Structure 1
Amino acid sequence: MPQSLDLFPIGNCAASGLIDRAGRLVWACAPRVDGDPMFSSLLGPDPDAEPDAQGFWGVEVEDQAQVTQTYLRNTPILVTEIADRSGAAIQVIDFCPRYRQFGRVYRPLAFIRLIRPVSGVARVRIRLRPTVNWGERPADRTTGSNHIRYVGGETTLRLTTDAPVSHLTGERSFRLEETVAMFLGPDEGFDADLSATCERMLKETTAYWRGWVRTLSVPLEWQEAVIRAAITLKLCAHEESGAIVAALTTSIPEHAGSGRNWDYRYCWLRDAYYVVQALNRLGAADLLENYLVYLRNLVDRTRGGHIQPLYGVGMEPSLTEHFASHLPGYRGMGPVRVGNQAHEHLQHDVYGQIILSSVQAFFDERLLRPATIEDFRALEMVGERAFELHDQPDASLWEFRGRENVHTYSAVMCWAACDRLGNAAAKLGLQDRADHWNARAAQVRATIEARAWNPKLGRFAATFGGDELDASLLQLVDVRFVAPDDPRMAATIAAVEQGLRRGPYMLRYAIPDDFGEPKTAFNICTFWLIEALHLSGRSEEARRLFEEMLARRTAAGLLSEDIAFDGAELWGNYPQTYSLVGLINCATMLSKPWASVR
């Protein structure tokens, strides 16, 4: 089957992987989400087309007839059932172990596959072909009586199994007469009964995720969609630091042959406000608090100076961009990029993103560590930076690589930084600081209203003194810069729809950029339109558009970054955090209240 984004994520907030519709693990990086892909065939040769293809872990049935896949309810544990033409069938259960033991969370860099006979006796073949150095070559291997070591990359991994090792190294087919357990993880001996231990890990991992989902606040409607998005959002977290990555992949193009192939396995601060908003609506306090820790650490490191648009999951500032020449790319559409040059950009909205997110901790009594006056003083340095830069040019949240302007969205986020600092100061009883920040917010507001408003067109423009349209203008309501019933906002929404809407879907912008004109819609922008329609009283239209977006999800219930104008295919990195939080936020806003069923 051709490469597709119809993929099922698995993970445990340390390890993550993507499984295709044939039940193959086709993408997984080590030792972190931004590391070398040991399973790289998502961006490499297609295993169905090239017998020597590498970078995947497949379980195949002879004379295969049918494959069905589903997650265990309220977990990221995937069950793939494969049947042959005679009716014999097997089940492959894929998961990364995660549960509490010894007073802490056990979440190793490990993948477990359990292959169970279901009916009849099927013949199976296991092909385990990890790569090193971005697909340059297969990993070297050494074998023991019950294990295979894969060496040569950033991380040495060991497969422990109760299947005959020579069946795996020789890729021989064999009768599956009993369950086969496979544990691919750290290069350590497995000093326990493998099958019993993997079954226990499955049971405890299932209990962990179902227990976590029980803590969520979900809307009455679209619960299954929201729960799946919430679980996947958690899979995008690097729990060790608290970072949440923009996607699990790199270099999936925004449209065919576009060259818009970016590495999204990093933490973008432009996402911060929307992620925190979604976590708030879900009541996911554990994930929220850990993310706020990551943001506080960044604030400490920058000490009132420049804040980058993105950082590595370990807060690394340098993400030098280069090409991985050994991989041809998704469907052969290179280049494959590692790193992201956007870390060098100026994006002034990040100061507002940091403050909008961090102010949560001054008001949220659930948190184990409420924010302190010392935290406020640190955020004031970020606010001073926002005030200083509110009317200065930047690359915008869309990271234009070839031009700069004073972007309205960036200015509005700088206003929000000052406005929310005023709220936090009032909560702390610091009236003098509240007055200071409220005055600064008023000054920034006056500048925006004078320079972003285009009187000739009767609407806000995307740049100061300009006439461009940008879907981020829809966010003026969400961040409370403009009231939903403000006539200026109604005119702006109408203009954005007319200029950027393609059928049900929204572009970010319609003007050519460094790579030409956009040829796909950007999913978060469609969710922004849904929010704006609802807030401006067009709720039925918003609901119809939301249902349209739900219908475009993969079999896993997820969305990527972009979608074709006809809705026929998803493009861009996957699963996309922006799209996950857009789905969660819209479902929460649009759903009927729980009281309606009582």
Structure 2
Amino acid sequence: MTQTTSDQDALKGGRYLPIAEHGLIGDLRSVALVGTDGTIDWYCCPCFDAPSVFGSILDAERGGCFELAAAIPARTKQFYFPDTNVLLTRFFTEDGVGEVQDFMPVDSGSVEAKRHRLIRRVLCVRGSIPFRARVAPRFDYGALPHTLRMVGDVAVFDSGGLSLALTATVPLEVDGPDARADFKLAEGEAAVFALDQVGGEVAPRSCACAEAERQFTATVAYWRNWLSASRYRGRWREMVHRSALTLKLLTYAPTGAIVAAPTTSLPEQLGGERNWDYRYVWVRDAAFCVYALLRLGFTGEAQAFMEFVTRHVSPGEVKPAGPLQIMYGIDGRTELPERELAELEGHQGSAPVRVGNDAAEQLQLDIYGALIDSIYLYDKWAQPVSSDQWDNVCALVDWVCEHWDQPDEGIWETRGGRKNFLYSRLMCWVAIERAIRMAHRRGLPADLPRWRECRDTIYRRIHSRGWSQARQAFVQEEDGDVLDAAVLMMPLTKFVAPTDPKWLATLDALTQDLVSDSLVYRYDRVASPDGMRGDEGTFSICSFWYVEAMVHAGRVDEARLAFEKMLTYANHLGLYAEEISHTGEQQGNFPQAFTHLALISAAFNLDRALG
């Protein structure tokens, strides 16, 4: 990715970088987004769903940021240090070449892990370059004032509930509530900035160039050691491994939670209202992540998520929406009240900015299938589930047998009323079918006659009421005629043979109505109102599902072309948001676990088909 300073200003409209113009760093507790201009404009401390400290991606004036860039006109390029989540932003000027190395050390130590250290190391590799830095935190989404005091060479930002300490190897200046530094580096020279959470057991600590070098080396070694466990050796190794590294960044090490995305309210349409908080554990998304990571050989993350589920899912405690909530906080909490931050203008003026998510209270029956399928795969590919875990599975399946035929809000979390969605029926079938497989393979106790009867009833219901004679396709809801890309999961879950004439007719119908140059829309919003205003782009997970469906249908050449086209929509680092606009821009929260896990699965199955 190459841009001039004037190009960047044009893209920002003077204020914002596009969503895709960012890289991601993290420490398995939180992340920071680093723009191609060298600015950190999103960072929540001390965890994913904490209020933002830097949030200028959502409000350029009030959100706060950490700027670090060449002080003269420069072209920039951004890339990851190979096989790691260490991000490098290079500045090419008339006077020389410099780079900023951004990373967050991954530390499991009880005290140092609480430091949440963010390191920015600046180097001049050719010539000499003047740099400027401005550290302007705005606590609690910009709502909470703070004080700034210098303690020796350390700048301490204190908001009352959270204190951050900034140390640097160059002099810092106080500029109102912000800290600044202007400095010049000659070839071979370096400067280091380190931002720590301090308080309690964690005292401010400087980060000299030698320590930054040690932490850089240790962080590189951590990521490379983690990635070395991957079993993927296919054609798209770089993209698959970048997706795996991204999914790992979205895990919360203290509990085993996996967040859907590390951001909130990045718009699905510029100027639209489809702006949601994704910094939570969606059972569906996390379960699919487990599948993708297990495919590659990463069992530790699967085990950690299974332990999260065991701790926080109690089938005996049945709530109005069932024993399983669609999402949880990263600490397992169930209350995620949604509110709007009216004082923030939103990314490029896309309001409202929301924190929390009321969809947590929705009924989405498909999550039972997603979770039990991931447990089935964990039992098969990692280690056998325990007797207590099996008892929980049985309780969940028994509940599904009682409640599968209810209308619900569905996979897309519509806010236009409950319907009898086919996808929800499909995944209820998956929940029961996978549990039956586990019981047979391991001889586990289960009410198999009842389970089999219910499984078969759902199967026949889908074929009788989910099939539209008029459309010659499986459709979004029972007795309807609207197409929905979620049905692409039918052959992927082994519900229908991938060459079944009814399925091939469905695939053709989806191609005609919902596919645009390999990109797939979720559904026709005009024919199926979802309770929200505004348009949306194509949904990237659906585009990768489409690739897989074509692979299974034997249309391998078409699948490969569609897959290669999808790769061109990644950003300069191989990262994806949730959606792609009609002009090819990334839309929605970024990066999106859903998209990256689907890329891994599509690549794996396409590789296998190509031989």
TM-score band w.r.t. shorter chain: over 0.9
Amino acid at match of 2:102: D
Structure 2 runs not aligned, ≥5 long: 1-8
Which of residues 193, 202, 220 is equivalent to 1:182? 193
Amino acid at match of 2:220: T
Q: What does 1:184-583 correspond to in 2, within 5 Å?
A: 184-187=195-198, 188-190=202-204, 194-300=208-314, 303=317, 305=319, 306=322, 307-364=324-381, 366-367=382-383, 370-430=384-444, 433-511=447-525, 512-516=529-533, 518-566=535-583, 568-583=584-599
Q: Residue 158 of structure 1 aligns to a residue in which SS?
A: strand
Mapped to 1, the partners of 2:114 and 2:375 lie a distance apart of: 27
Which of residues 124, 131, 143 is equivalent to 1:124? 131
Aligned counterpart, 1:93: 101
Mapped to 2, the partners of 1:246 and 1:199 lie a distance apart of: 32
Asked whether 1:115 is paired with 2:132, we answer no
Could you tell me whether the CA contact under 8 Å between 1:136 and 1:327 is conserved in 2? no
Aligned counterpart, 1:48: none
- Residue 58 of structure 1: how far off its partner (Å): 1.0
- Residue 113 of structure 1: how far off its partner (Å): 0.9
Q: What does 1:10-49 correspond to in 2, within 5 Å?
A: 10-45=25-60
Amino acid at match of 1:497: T
Could you tell me whether the CA contact under 8 Å between 2:422 and 2:466 is conserved in 1? yes
Mapped to 2, the partners of 1:432 and 1:375 lie a distance apart of: 13
- Residue 334 of structure 1: how far off its partner (Å): 1.0
Distance 1:405 1:66, change over 3 A: same
Aligned counterpart, 1:49: none
Could you tell me whether the CA contact under 8 Å between 1:300 and 1:378 is conserved in 2? yes
Mapped to 2, the partners of 1:575 and 1:170 lie a distance apart of: 29
Deviations 1:16-55 (A, max 9, x none): 110001011110111211111101011112xxxxxx6651
- Residue 115 of structure 1: how far off its partner (Å): 1.4
Asked whether 1:78 is paired with 2:87, we answer yes
Q: Residue 325 of structure 2 aligns to a residue in which SS?
A: coil
Mapped to 2, the partners of 1:234 and 1:504 lie a distance apart of: 28
Could you tell me whether the CA contact under 8 Å between 2:576 and 2:596 is conserved in 1? yes
Identify which range, 304-313 or 501-510, moves more after superposition. 304-313
Could you tell me whether the CA contact under 8 Å between 2:473 and 2:506 is conserved in 1? yes
- Residue 303 of structure 1: how far off its partner (Å): 3.9
Asked whether 1:150 is paired with 2:157, we answer yes
Distance 1:16 1:204, change over 3 A: same
- Residue 481 of structure 1: how far off its partner (Å): 0.9
- Residue 170 of structure 1: how far off its partner (Å): 5.7
- Residue 562 of structure 1: how far off its partner (Å): 0.7
Q: Residue 127 of structure 1 aligns to a residue in which SS?
A: strand
Could you tell me whether the CA contact under 8 Å between 1:99 and 1:208 is conserved in 2? no
Q: Residue 421 of structure 1 aligns to a residue in which SS?
A: helix
- Residue 139 of structure 1: how far off its partner (Å): 3.5
Could you tell me whether the CA contact under 8 Å between 2:397 and 2:435 is conserved in 1? yes
Deviations 1:402-448 (A, max 9, x none): 22111111011111111111111112313654444233312222222
Query: Alpha carbon RMSD of aligned pairs, Å?
Result: 2.3
Mapped to 2, the partners of 1:302 and 1:444 lie a distance apart of: 24
TM-score (ref. length: structure 1): 0.92
- Residue 64 of structure 1: how far off its partner (Å): 2.5
Could you tell me whether the CA contact under 8 Å between 1:12 and 1:98 is conserved in 2? yes
Distance 1:301 1:29, change over 3 A: farther
Mapped to 2, the partners of 1:136 and 1:543 lie a distance apart of: 48
Aligned counterpart, 1:163: 170
Identify which range, 189-198 or 108-117, moves more after superposition. 189-198
Mapped to 2, the partners of 1:299 and 1:159 lie a distance apart of: 40
Amino acid at match of 1:93: Q
- Residue 229 of structure 1: how far off its partner (Å): 0.7
Mapped to 2, the partners of 1:135 and 1:448 lie a distance apart of: 49
Amino acid at match of 1:444: I
Amino acid at match of 2:190: T
Amino acid at match of 2:271: G
Distance 1:302 1:540, change over 3 A: farther
Q: Residue 176 of structure 1 aligns to a residue in which SS?
A: strand
Q: Residue 540 of structure 1 aligns to a residue in which SS?
A: helix
Amino acid at match of 2:55: S
Amino acid at match of 1:244: I
Q: Residue 180 of structure 2 aligns to a residue in which SS?
A: coil
Q: Residue 128 of structure 1 aligns to a residue in which SS?
A: strand
Distance 1:105 1:282, change over 3 A: farther
Mapped to 2, the partners of 1:263 and 1:407 lie a distance apart of: 24
- Residue 231 of structure 1: how far off its partner (Å): 0.4
Q: Residue 399 of structure 1 aligns to a residue in which SS?
A: coil
- Residue 83 of structure 1: how far off its partner (Å): 3.4
Q: Residue 359 of structure 1 aligns to a residue in which SS?
A: helix
Amino acid at match of 2:579: D
Structure 1 runs not aligned, ≥5 long: 46-51
Amino acid at match of 1:43: L
Could you tell me whether the CA contact under 8 Å between 2:336 and 2:357 is conserved in 1? yes
Distance 1:395 1:53, change over 3 A: closer
TM-score (ref. length: structure 2): 0.91
Mapped to 2, the partners of 1:404 and 1:460 lie a distance apart of: 19
Mapped to 2, the partners of 1:105 and 1:471 lie a distance apart of: 45
The alignment-based identity, stated in percent, is 32
Distance 1:35 1:106, change over 3 A: closer
Mapped to 1, the partners of 2:418 and 2:447 lie a distance apart of: 33
Could you tell me whether the CA contact under 8 Å between 1:504 and 1:545 is conserved in 2? yes
Deviations 1:481-505 (A, max 9, x none): 1111111111111222222122321
Aligned counterpart, 2:3: none
Mapped to 2, the partners of 1:107 and 1:220 lie a distance apart of: 38
Could you tell me whether the CA contact under 8 Å between 1:412 and 1:476 is conserved in 2? yes
Q: Residue 334 of structure 2 aligns to a residue in which SS?
A: coil
Could you tell me whether the CA contact under 8 Å between 2:269 and 2:534 is conserved in 1? no
Pairs aligned (count): 583
Distance 1:105 1:477, change over 3 A: farther
Amino acid at match of 1:578: F
Could you tell me whether the CA contact under 8 Å between 2:62 and 2:344 is conserved in 1? no
